[in-house]
Structure 1
């Protein structure tokens, strides 16, 4: 173990929480100053842009001030452990904390960002197991190792290099995911998604002997943006008791909760899925690969976000999903799209393997660094 002192975050940092202006007040939103949500925290270590802005009216009426350039941000709700440093003045929502060293000579911001990244992984695991809910008070109680400033800078440089390599690879994977395999052609008519899929309905009891050993897939089982299953556990292992949907090999499983996370996977086996997901069975005129690509496309993401924004918990309902307009494709076009998708998947698989190796390296280096062994 390191001989460095362990300090509470609240002892060495000032912590403040963001705020979301009322959505029902249109005058608070639109052209104005950048407002950050968790979905904007995937742009690397420097936070440069946001998808939404709040107006000067919101600033004046709500008496809020932006975080300055160089502020360390940490997400502590929904997606725990996302970190970044502001490159422009901005505001955040209430799921993001601004964490500022009280003394710059005692705590390096880039070291703080890296140590928060690791703390976040531990906290996220505890939250999943024990239902831990973070707030400003509990954030202040989190402990971090505090080596001498020179050692902080050395650790930040080493871990920052690996983090940057990971971010570059994640960006490449994102770009691969954005390649359009469903070219919109002017001569193509459209049809509703309901013409191409059936949503499996009717829940089953996962505690029955016939079901409890079946694989259970929930939204947290799926990696965002990649269409990969992260973990496979049985219904019994997950200790699920409420009704689940029965899916079959080749079905496309779509997470309807927080659609911006883009969690869509082709089922490689039979199993049960969470009620927070749709199990879609492709009809004639589309196949699983093309359906998955359609649901992960930028056009559909924008559509899903538009509809999900109307709910208190972002989600797209069955009616809106099935009403989505899809270009009609010939069998030849469907097969060509499938071949293109398979080629992209091969490249994605190689990059995912490299990403996994980098993440293991990051974990190993972080463990050694914060134990004083690097």
Structure 2
């Protein structure tokens, strides 16, 4: 292993010094009884680190006996010896203690070691490679990294000042990721609330929330008189559609209308059977398993599978409002209820045509549709920012810790 990283903050030039992890960490073993000590029971996952157990789980474990639990105090690090090779490590950055399974290992960093730096390094790809090298156990799936094993692993560490710089960098990065994720979750909750309140409730003719200047009852509409269900099926093997995207239900995120990153062109897919054509402003809806909520508002020309419908509003129903309608709880409940049959759930054309809904004037429809699409846009922006920050973190995790055979550069 090299003794300096690929990416480094300016002003730091010294080689990192070799340490054994036993010189860095001190094992703790503070046993607690959650039934008596009024301490919350938490778990540990590879993805999220320390995670709160559900209230239901907390109630269920109370009936068990002879379970050992360890206290994870503020500033403590905890890991699962059985999943350490996957990066099952967590850090208690809260101001309260929590309880975890007695099978977990708890420890604390010694003096002159920055806790956030340590916590970041413990989940890095370099650290995980070391765990796999030193793990004990005859079967790969049963290999463990108990504390005595962890203690002998040799690692290069920078001086404390550089540790704190790296730790602060990752702390700020994690904070930004959390902020964008929280903002994304808040906007999703707002959309859910608005979908519930910008459409009339059962047996009502007006919604609870309405744009200024609009009055009067909404009118009942039948799907068959308000929506065309496309029958324009084309041959994808003709070559005419080669450069168009093929967006099937499997390319759509459930309940968001977001297109996933796994879309390929018609030519790349080498499609041979008939596909439905869609155009900008068309609404595409997955008819198989409607409980999965697969739909999107088209912004490009493309093809979709025979497992989807292409909708166009008519007789005073606008496209953006139509897209809003299929996201309402009323439409969802209807689509799920009528698709329950033996075999794979599916909503057919006759069942769609029998659906009735309320609609306001076209002007009000567009206000509603535009508003909800703008919310979708904000959600997507925060998701993209969050994904970009995670990619940046991934890159820095690979390059801010020493690896063998790397060229050095200053950050």
Give the TM bin, normalised by the shorter chain: 0.5 to 0.7
**Residue equivalent to 2:333:** 302
TM-score where L is the length of structure 1 = 0.56
Find the counterpart in structure 1 of residue 367 from structure 2: 339
Query: In structure 2, the residue corresponding to 1:207 is in which secondary structure?
Result: helix
Partner of 1:221: 251
Matched residues in 2 for 1:202 and 1:278: separation? 10
Alignment-derived partner of residue 236 in structure 2: 206
Distance 1:209 1:272 in 2: 13
Q: Does 1:252 align with 2:255?
A: no
Equivalent residues in 2 for 1:285-296 (5 A)?
285-296=316-327
SS of residue matched to 1:345: helix
Gaps of 5+ in 2: 4-39, 58-78, 93-103, 105-119, 126-138, 144-149, 156-162, 206-216, 403-411
Give the SS at the match of 1:249: coil
Aligned partner of 1:369 among 397, 400, 405: 397
Is the Cα–Cα contact under 8 Å of residues 236 and 273 in structure 2 kept in the other structure?
A: yes
Which has the larger Rg? 2
Q: Distance in 2 between matches of 1:271 and 1:72?
A: 43
Q: Which runs of 5 or more residues in structure 1 are unaligned?
A: 4-67, 75-80, 92-99, 120-136
The equivalent position to 1:356 in structure 2, one of 384, 389, 409, is 384
The verdict on how the C-alpha distance between 1:162 and 1:247 changes in structure 2, with shifts beyond 3 A counting, is same
Q: Tell me, yes or no, if structure 1 residue 88 matches structure 2 residue 105.
A: no
Counterparts of 1:140-151 in structure 2, within 5 Å, are none
Q: How many residues align?
A: 269
Query: Which residue of structure 2 lines up, in the alignment, with residue 174 of structure 1?
Result: 188
- Taking the aligned partners of 1:349 and 1:291, their CA distance within structure 2 comes to 17
Q: Distance in 1 between matches of 2:52 and 2:378?
A: 32
User: Shift in Å at residue 236 of structure 1?
Assistant: 0.5
* TM-superposed deviation, 1:361: 0.8
CA RMSD across the alignment: 4.7
Q: Distance in 1 between matches of 2:170 and 2:331?
A: 39
Q: SS in structure 1 opposite 2:238?
A: coil
Higher relative contact order (CA 8 A, sep 6+): 2
CA contact (8 A) 1:110 1:156 kept: no
Q: CA deviation at 1:193?
A: 2.0
TM-score by length of 2: 0.51
